[in-house]
Amino acid sequence: MRITFDETKNQLEKVLLKYGCCGEHAQKAAYEIARNSLEGVYTHGINRFARLIRNIGEGIVRPNEKPETIHTFGGIENVDGRLGLGIINAWHCMGRAIELAKEHGIGLIALRNTNHWFRAATYGHQACDAGMAGICFTNTIPNMPTWGAMDSRIGNNPLVFAFPHKGGPHIIADMAMSQFSYGALELARLQNYQMPMAAGFNRNGELTTDPGEVIESRRLLPTGYWKGAALSFVMDIFASCIALGNSTAAIGRLAGDEHGVSQCFIAINYKEIAPGNTPDGILEDAIQNLISSKKDKNTQRIVYSGQKITETRAENLLKGIPVDDKIWEAILKL
């Protein structure tokens, strides 16, 4: 089934209003969630919406709370998300980082007590659209063992690096610290295929490409093995210790679904570092060099990270957003 962007957005907004969300927050959250699906990030768009509504019902997402500034010092600021909507809080914080970067060249916001921000790249795009480079990351509930461990004590903590590209789609790396998500593994198990590379460990502690074995062992593989495990832990420490919020360890002790996470947002007003100069030439040269790489026989096209968004967006605007029938029917009944 395909649904237009406007129909999607309006339906999500209607449901959010029904569940007690104020008009301003409902409009913004619905827009961003629909946009995630429009741009091809289905797992962090429509497909996650029912869980958000469930979390509102459970009281762990409080849709009308507003982020509260705790303290500002120069270009850094501490914000309490008061368990509000993750999208509203994160958008506010990257917006503040951009404001602080206008004055200080760089701004950093540490956010505590917030909720799932849906698509990490949203806030990278936000910085880029304001003409700034952006870095942001979040911690999560424990969902992955650290390197050499059996039990899940680190999060898959997505990380974003984003740089504006005037001539086309922004350059945005948006990566979770697990090689594959449980969502991807569950889809593979359902459709009965193996992952293209090791996705985790089986019950015997051996690397496996079998999605069912990893789901059974709960031993998801960190991105780059020990490397992703290390980066996940340090990002968790950054976000929780700077924000004075929950670490992944603390989130794991809270009752119920994931909530109360910690995040970090950095905006870099890089144009002010060299007034009168522009990196446009450096950027275009690097892009051209990359995308003209010699292709592997199995590769159709070499792209930079973020490049395909414009095309997916254009196609889904034209044809409608592809939606799983059952997921859409469930949303219509909410």
* 133 contributes a contact to its own copies by CB under 8 A: yes
Under a CB-based contact definition with an 8 Å cutoff, are residues 134 and 124 in contact?
yes
Among the listed residues 184, 187, 249, 327, the single contact to its own copies using CB under 8 A: 249
Q: Which stretch binds its own copies (CB under 8 A): 1-9, 24-32, 186-194, 195-203?
A: 195-203
Active-site residue set: 44
318 binds its own copies, rule: CB under 8 A: no
Residues 197-216 that bind its own copies (CB under 8 A): 197-198, 201, 205, 207
Candidate list 46, 175, 185, 195; residue touching its own copies; CB under 8 A: 175
Residue 130: CB partners within 8 Å, gap ≥ 6?
A: 98, 267
Per CB under 8 A, 105 contacts its own copies: yes
Q: State the number of binding residues for its own copies (CB under 8 A).
A: 90
- Tell me the C-alpha distance between 150 and 116, whole Å: 25
C-alpha to C-alpha distance for 331 and 177, rounded to whole angstroms = 30
Q: Determine the 3-state secondary structure of 195 from DSSP.
A: coil
C-alpha radius of gyration, the chain, whole number: 20
Structure tokens at 240: 């929780």
Chosen residue from 191, 192, 255, 282 binding its own copies by CB under 8 A: 282
The residue within the footprint of its own copies, chosen from 58, 68, 103, 324 (CB under 8 A), is 103
Residue 162 touches its own copies, criterion: CB under 8 A: yes
The residue from 235, 321, 323, 331 that contacts its own copies (CB under 8 A) is: 235
Q: Are 134 and 300 in contact (CB under 8 A)?
A: no
Q: What distance in Å separates the CA atoms of residue 213 and residue 205, rounded to the nearest whole number?
A: 11
Contact set for its own copies, span 10-49 (CB under 8 A): none
Which residues on adjacent β-strands are paired with residue 261?
114
DSSP state of 215: H
Sign of the C-alpha dihedral computed for residues 117, 121, 124 and 126 taken in this order: negative
For residue 113, state whether it binds its own copies (rule: CB under 8 A): no
Stretch that binds its own copies, among 18-26, 83-91, 220-228, 319-327 (CB under 8 A): 220-228
Provide the CB-side half-sphere exposure for 6 (13 A, CA): 1
98: contact with its own copies by CB under 8 A? no
Q: To the nearest whole angstrom, how small is the minimum distance from the Cβ of residue 44 to its own copies?
A: 16
Query: Smallest distance from the beta carbon of 69 to its own copies, in angstroms?
Result: 11
Is residue 293 a contact residue for its own copies (CB under 8 A)? yes
